[in-house]
Chain A
């Protein structure tokens, strides 16, 4: 195994799980997400110099994954999603407010939801999100702030 392969392997071990989660959320299908995860690293392997020189390799990998995920979503679906009843319900006790939060997040405008997911679910910094979404850092900040403001209004968590 050459040096580039070892490096990619290390990135796979470090970021693979987060990328898989992100792709699953993006595409809504676990099998597609697994395929896209592999494709993400194949693309990275085709440009090992970019991977080595990237300011944030994690952001670069997420950017590739995002492009692949968006392309996959544009393609016509060949499978039918499972009916809701067949999806296993969470087995642990859940905070009743979480369902409300989920609905509020789904209702957010797509750019805000995407930025929020990258920040809170994937733990990317503002700069990394800006790299992934190819937008200025200031725009990332305003999207995130607006998303939280919208959620706060919807949830109405005031202490009174």
Chain B
């Protein structure tokens, strides 16, 4: 066995971290090597003294178990967990709305979807439905068609015939 490995084994043994089967083998090995055995005893003595030096200290009694403080910590743990859950659900709903708005932007067919109905006092829902079908003038589709019909995207444009002349506005081709 080389000296480095032997040193490591002796130090681990001194620190009480050598597996029992390795310890048996090490003890058997050291029986025939007096110099190494002396070094091993010295290591053990050093560790024992260090342990005693570190273990000593003024005797301190363990303070009472802080049940109240721990109970408050426990409650705050549950409050934080519930709050985290609520925020998570709210964030999911917002993301859902946002995704829907991105994937399905407003189109004429969407605009034609029936919205909330105002029902006059004393009027039955059936009467209200009939009124709504008649009210074509206010329908979303008619408004959209009117808006898109009046809009002419290229009705005017900038005309710049020559680099020596100034550009001027003119009608579309």
Contact = CB atoms under 8 A, between A and B. Distances in A.
Nearest to A1: B67
Contact of B46 (A9, A30, A155): A155
Contact of A152 (B43, B53, B56, B77): B43
B62 interface: yes
Main SS of the interface on chain A? helix
A42 to B, nearest CB: 5
Contact of B53 (A9, A47, A105, A157): A105
Main SS of the interface on chain B? helix
How many chain B residues sit at the interface, stated as a range, is: 35 or more
B81 to A, nearest CB: 10
B77 A145 contact: no
B63 A37 contact: yes
Given A21-B60, A45-B77, A121-B54, A5 B46 contact: no
Q: Across the A-B interface, give the 6 residue pairs with the lowest CB-CB distance, nearest first.
A: A121-B54, A45-B73, A101-B53, A120-B51, A38-B66, A45-B70
Interface of B: 7-8, 11-12, 14-15, 17, 38, 41-43, 45-47, 49-58, 60, 62-63, 65-67, 69-71, 73-74, 76-77
Interface of A: 1-2, 4-5, 8-9, 12-13, 16-17, 20-21, 24-25, 30, 33-34, 37-38, 41-43, 45-48, 88, 90, 95, 97-98, 101-102, 105, 116-117, 119-121, 125-126, 141, 144-145, 148-149, 151-152, 155, 157-159
